[in-house]
Amino acid sequence: MRVKRSVVLVLAGALALTGLAACGGGAKQANTGAVLNVGMPNGPQTNNSNPFIVSSAAFSLGYRRMIYEPLVMTNAVRVTEPGKPWLATKWDWSENYHKLVLTIRDGVKFSDGQPMTAEDVAYTFQLLKDNPGLNYDALRLGGISVSGNQVTLTFDKSQFVNQVKILRTFVVPKHVWSKVANPTTDTVANPVGTGPYTLKSFTPQTVTLTVRDSYWQDLPKVKELRYTSYNDNNAQTTALGNGSCEWSFTFIPNYKAVYTSKDPEHFKLWFPAMLAVHGLWFNTERKPFDNPVLRRAMSMVVNRDDIFNQGEAGYFYPKADNVTGIPTPAGDSFIAPEYQGKTMKVDIAGAKKLLTDNGFRYQGDTLLDTTGKPVTLTLSNPSGWSDYITDLEILRDNFAKIGITATVDKANQDAWLKAVDTGNFDAVMHWTNDGATPYDLYQNIMDASLYKPVGTGGVSGNYGRFSSPEGTQALQRYAEAADDAGRAAALATVQKIMVEQQPVIATSAANAGGEYSTRNWVGWPDEQNPYGPAQPTLINALDIVLHLKPAS
């Protein structure tokens, strides 16, 4: 999965009631209609329920998860746990993850009454293979065949690092999609899936789903889902604070004052770490930041506690302080023995010594690089991304303590995206991809196959133009290893490169969180029962709704 980022806005002062009207009645009213009100701060939506298209309302608001179901229900919070059988009852890998046999569940029907079979599963994979625009995870699909209730997939390379992406594929009905002229642009006015809900109504502000009459599992207690797309984070937070929205994913800088304090008993949030990071990406082709000694020294003075507590409001992106950059506890089992328990702590004296021992020197309080020039850099992010801007201001002050002059550029978002794409920057806060292992995180940072020269756009990773043949080879060995020992050895090499060369200063873990209310519904995931991420747009959203029960 590619970690997505919504524009983060500052909530200034006391919030008045703004944006859309309450989508579920007064905050204190009983939920007599068994309705769950879901919200996202994504603005007016276009009527598009194509589940494959990133820009569709179904994707943006997350309601595709209630209509289309995956083969296996995986859990990004507990990545080492096996997934729950869903539309597939078994999945058997062989030939070092070059072959997968899926056993498809009997007795499942689409919402139009037609049975779901192995033919539908095979058709779905063929649809992805034939239409790269729908193949969001860029799966390298080879042979696809059906025998009875089993589907066999073959691949030209080991799919160990992609197995979760394959298993979480949702299934579409062949009898519907085979008649679609152009599946990459069709808006799917009447979505048909195996999930327990169907589309009832659509407006640019609110999408309503209603529960089916029958379903292969017990029907959910939630009879109607109302997805409201609020104009911005301010309006979304207001709706959470007055109880009219019961489930969302949005950044709230002062969440205690404007959200949880409004009803401490019922207004909750949970933001567990995923195997992806946010951090400061250097343009490693710009001097002097091509020097790993300088990057390491700069990492040594970063106050990650301040970034978590001030920039990320003490909850949003959890602190990532293991020296490898791997988030904990999600990634504990992947950290090499030599790095277990080793965390980054502010060490100004140590950073200065590292620099002066390696050709840097000081002129008064100013750090001079190995050629005698003052070390300066511009830290850039879009002006509306308030948490990132605060992070950059903290980093600026941290770097000043070792004589580096940094300025914060509050950029236009479109211009910034182009600059990152073409490598026209000094350093930016950015994120990595996530996955079931740290492979996706590290591949995003150092895989040479993603490298493009400065000035060339269309990048899909390695934004810092970091070149490490050793790292690229280790990533390839990890992806193709035949056993756990081989994978552990390869990943240890990648971690060593991260520690010693610091192409990215990891500061925070990505989250799979959300805000939710227990006034009307209980059964939400939390630290004590982490059966899935709490975000309403992720794969586990359906599993969450199936867990919910009326509060009284």
Q: Are 285 and 465 in contact (CB under 8 A)?
A: yes
Q: What is the pLDDT of residue 460?
A: 85
List C-alpha distances in Å: 320 to 159, 191, 282.
28, 40, 18
List C-alpha distances in Å: 231 to 42, 206, 517.
6, 12, 21
**pLDDT exceeds cutoff 70 at 21:** no
**Which of 124, 226, 223, 133 is closest to 178 using CA atoms?**
124
Alpha helices in 131-202 (DSSP H): 163-167, 174-177
- Using CB atoms within 10 Å of the CB of residue 371, give its burial: 0 to 12 exposed, 13 to 18 middle, 19+ buried: exposed
Residue 40 backbone dihedrals phi, psi, to 5 degrees: -140, 145
Q: Measured between alpha carbons, how far is 545 from 540 in angstroms, rounded to an integer?
A: 9
Report the 3 state secondary structure along 76-143. Answer: CCCCCCCCEECCEEEEEEECCCCEEEEEECCCCECCCCCECCHHHHHHHHHHHHHCCCCCCCCCCCCC
Q: Measured between alpha carbons, how far is 91 from 149 in angstroms, rounded to an integer?
A: 12
Q: In order of start, what are the domains of the chain with their CATH numbers?
A: 67-178 (3.90.76.10), 230-272+512-550 (3.40.190.10), 273-511 (3.10.105.10)
What residues pair up with 153 in beta bridges, in sequence order? Answer: 100, 144
Cis ω for the linkage preceding 288 (within 30 of 0): yes
| Sheet arrangement for strand 144-147 | 88-94, 99-104, 150-154, 144-147
Q: What is the pLDDT of residue 32?
A: 57
Tokens 């060995």 sit on residue = 477
On average, the pLDDT of the chain sits at 93
DSSP letter string, 241-262: HHTS--EE----TTHHHHTGGG
DSSP letter string, 48-76: ---TT-TTSHHHHHSTHHHHS-BSEE--S
Under the banding of pLDDT at 50, 70 and 90, the label for residue 24 is very low
What pLDDT digit, counting tens, does each position of 493-552 carry?
Answer: 999 999 999 999 999 999 989 999 999 999 999 999 999 999 999 999 999 999 999 998
Arithmetic mean of pLDDT, 410-435:
94
Strands 99-104 and 427-431, sheet pairing: unpaired
The number of residues making up the chain comes to: 552
Under the banding of pLDDT at 50, 70 and 90, the label for residue 438 is very high
Strands 247-248 and 376-382, sheet pairing: unpaired
Q: What is the pLDDT of residue 31?
A: 59
Contacts of 94 (CB under 8 A, 6+ apart): 100, 101
What pLDDT digit, counting tens, does each position of 134-193 carry?
Answer: 998 889 999 999 999 999 999 999 999 999 999 999 999 999 999 999 999 999 999 999
Query: Under DSSP, is residue 201 helix (H, G, I), strand (E, B) or coil?
Result: strand
Contacts of 384 (CB under 8 A, 6+ apart): 7, 8, 9, 413
CB atoms within 10 A of CB 261: 12
Strands 144-147 and 99-104, sheet pairing: unpaired
pTM reported for the whole predicted model = 0.88
List C-alpha distances in Å: 392 to 281, 315, 334, 381, 400.
12, 18, 29, 8, 12
Query: Under DSSP, is residue 176 helix (H, G, I), strand (E, B) or coil?
Result: helix
Cis ω for the linkage preceding 253 (within 30 of 0): no
The two structure tokens encoding residue 217: 């599992």
What pLDDT digit, counting tens, does each position of 40-85 carry?
Answer: 999 999 999 999 998 899 999 999 999 999 999 999 888 888 899 9
CB atoms within 10 A of CB 338: 12
Residue 412 DSSP label: -
